[in-house]
A and B are shown apart, each in its own frame.
Chain A
Amino acid sequence: MGLKIIVLAKQVPDTRNVGKDAMKADGTVNRAALAAIFNPEDLNALEQALRLKDKYKGTTVTLLTMGPGRAADIIREGLFRGADDGYLLSDRAFAGSDTLATSYTLSCAIKKIKDFDLIIAGRQAIDGDTAQVGPQVAEKLNLPQVTYVEEVLKAEKGKITIKRRLERGVETVEAPLPSVITVNSSAPSCRPRAAKLLMKYKHARTMSERQSQAEDYIDLSADRPYLNIQEWSVNDVETDAQWLGLTGSPTKVKTIENVVFQAKESKILTASDKEIDELVKELMLNHTIG
């Protein structure tokens, strides 16, 4: 029995490789200096979906991402690794969304996709480290959720069995389908791009990308519909404007501060016997040690 799986994936700035030029002089983040990458745990999520596809014949994997136009890269990356298709949700109306507005918008798009058995998200996105969107999508769709997933053991007879990682232990749980699960970085990493798929999907584009291509661009998507990446704006998805974007975000950023240290006055020592001996004596005298 094949499953219809939707994978939620986000394009994020690579906060793990923050260089010296990542902060501007005025203390704001210099987004241009950070590469945009596939959120790492979303790759773990994709791998779980692809494993189910390997295991259960007829399974399809659909990516869903919300972001600016360039987030179409996320869909392409997914196609190169074995996903079947994908949707990019992109509109100014979605800009400035916090996790709640994001999950609202994603859940509206999922309702439009309609036919699915399982939604797989990453546990958290490295730009915010919030881990909220998965559970919030589940709530908006009125579906059960299982977070911190390390392995989907099986998905049969309308049920899914899952191993999940707790702080100090592991748990095996069973949930009905459809459900929402979020996958941990401790799950297996994603398989690499497949050369064959890279060839097949190299020219996959959204409508807006196609329109902004150079003149000599040859559009093949009419003959090869799989090269068309679906792009949805606010008009394509049934939403209520009051829950979208900045308006739909209950959390507001009041202030942002760049982190600066006040240097303490410190005693500078060398590792000579004499100085270490004196340090130890001093620490013992003031009862820090001993």
Chain B
Amino acid sequence: MNNIFVICEMDEGKVADVSLELLTKGRSLANTLKCQLEALVLGHKLTGVEKEIFPYGADVVHIGDDACLAPYTTLPHAAVINGLFKVEKPQIGLLGATTMGRDLGPRVSSALYSGLTADCTALEIGDHEDKKAKKVYKDLLYQIRPAFGGNIVATIINPDCRPQMATVREGVMKKEIYSASHKGVVKKIDVGQFVKPEHLVVKVIERHMEKSRVNIKNSSIIVSGGYGMGSKENFQVLYELAEVLGAEVGASRAAVDAGYADHDRQVGQTGITVRPKLYIACGISGQIQHTAGMEESAMVIAINNDPMAPINKMADYVITGDVMETIPKLIKFYKKNSK
């Protein structure tokens, strides 16, 4: 009772990364709150899914395995979760800020009348004093997120309603195995108890999935280009540098909007959050919406012809110069020195 629930999502037959990241976060929150961490997986043909989940620290895995739960549609999933949550009364419910999580989360929060905070970038436990009502709330979930186009950071709380729900984007939390030998309890959900014919009115007629082409999230070095690269052709030197360094190419939104790079390379608040060993920002000014997605990089090199560019403030190395002059030199000297 009053545990932390992570609603897990399946991606091509495996538990999605974002769900494992949330389990990692959920585990540490559960340790702080001294409660249990429970995972909830809904879908079809889920045999053995608990084996993927237990190492991330779940004490209980609820599994709802039924043909009506895949492919995903809103109503049957919401019906099962609403029903289960009414019995289990979790204090916290976490979902990925994916197309599924952002479709399902609000539906559930509306039915249970619980607050939901979208796209959190940090989750912490803390107290709150309501001075007017002279009431102190212990151990609330602080749901921290950028707001107003990233210009402010707000801490949101739900003092009175449970569960306290939040969505988090992929890559924002770290994924970490809690213990490879950790084991918990599997609880099978009787799906038929919750899903009624009226929940099955939306039908998926066709689904066409594209394989993700780039994987910048897991790359230890990222060479990222901004609007200052000047053109799609100039972006080519970034691919060359990435090639010699064994890196991936990222981009700012301005570069993506200008057509220099594809959207799946976008780093930042509305793109991907990355934390590589090395981030090389080329012709990127460093607006907060961009830096929100790369500020945890272990080392940052900024190449910018403006010595006052905001990105320089967070860089370990600032190269004040033209990108089209500097990047070829990096390639040249890397080749020379690695011989």
User: Would you give the 0/1 interface string for B312-339, flagging 1 where the beta carbon is closer than 8 Å to chain A?
Assistant: 1111111111100110011001101110
Cβ-closest chain A residue relative to B102:
A131
Residues of A within 8 A of B142 (CB): 254
Whether the Cβ atoms of A252 and B157 lie closer than 8 Å is yes
Residues of A within 8 A of B152 (CB): 23, 27, 29, 256-259
Instruction: Kindly identify, within residues 78 to 132 of chain A, every residue whose CB is under 8 Å from any CB belonging to chain B.
Output: 98-100, 103, 126-132
- Picked from A172, A259, A266, the residue with its CB within 8 Å of the CB of B318 is A266
How far apart sit A126 and B158, CA to CA, in the bound complex (Å)? Answer: 22
> Assuming A144-B75, A254-B155, is B277 touching A132 (CB within 8 A)?
no
* Interface segment, one of A60-68, A69-77, A273-281: A273-281
Instruction: Kindly identify, within residues 146 to 161 of chain B, every residue whose CB is under 8 Å from any CB belonging to chain A.
Output: 146-161
Count A-B pairs with CB separation below 8 Å: 236
Cβ-based interface call for A238 (8 A): no
Whether the Cβ atoms of A280 and B337 lie closer than 8 Å is yes
Nearest chain A CB to B89's CB is how many angstroms away?
Answer: 15
How far apart sit A234 and B113, CA to CA, in the bound complex (Å)? Answer: 21
Cβ-closest chain A residue relative to B199:
A144
Cβ-based interface call for B237 (8 A): no
Whether the Cβ atoms of A253 and B156 lie closer than 8 Å is yes
**Number of residues on chain A facing chain B (CB within 8 A):** 78
Instruction: Kindly identify, within residues 131 to 177 of chain A, every residue whose CB is under 8 Å from any CB belonging to chain B.
Output: 131-136, 138-140, 144-148, 161, 165-176
Cβ-based interface call for B26 (8 A): no
Whether the Cβ atoms of B116 and A271 lie closer than 8 Å is no
Residues of A within 8 A of B301 (CB): 279
Cβ-based interface call for B310 (8 A): yes
How far apart sit A279 and B157, CA to CA, in the bound complex (Å)? Answer: 46
Whether the Cβ atoms of B326 and A276 lie closer than 8 Å is yes
Cβ-based interface call for A18 (8 A): yes
> Assuming A171-B206, A251-B115, A256-B154, is B329 touching A271 (CB within 8 A)?
yes
Whether the Cβ atoms of A280 and B109 lie closer than 8 Å is no
Whether the Cβ atoms of A140 and B110 lie closer than 8 Å is yes
> Assuming A166-B209, A250-B113, A253-B155, is B106 touching A271 (CB within 8 A)?
no
**Residue among A22, A129, A269, A277 with most chain B CB within 10 A:** A129
Between A and B, 28 residue pairs with Cβ closer than 8 Å are A15-B148, A127-B148, A130-B118, A130-B119, A131-B102, A145-B74, A145-B107, A148-B103, A166-B207, A167-B99, A172-B205, A172-B206, A173-B73, A173-B203, A174-B203, A175-B202, A175-B203, A252-B158, A254-B142, A254-B157, A255-B155, A257-B155, A259-B288, A266-B317, A271-B325, A271-B326, A273-B329, A280-B334
- Interface residues in chain B, defined as those with a beta carbon under 8 Å from any beta carbon in chain A: 71, 73-75, 78, 98-99, 102-103, 105-107, 109-111, 113-119, 128, 142-143, 146-161, 201-212, 221, 245, 277-278, 288, 291, 299-301, 303, 307, 310, 312-322, 325-326, 329-330, 333-334, 336-338
- Interface residues in chain A, defined as those with a beta carbon under 8 Å from any beta carbon in chain B: 13, 15-16, 18, 22-23, 27, 29, 98-100, 103, 126-136, 138-140, 144-148, 161, 165-176, 179, 249-259, 261-264, 266-271, 273, 275-277, 279-281, 283-284, 288-290
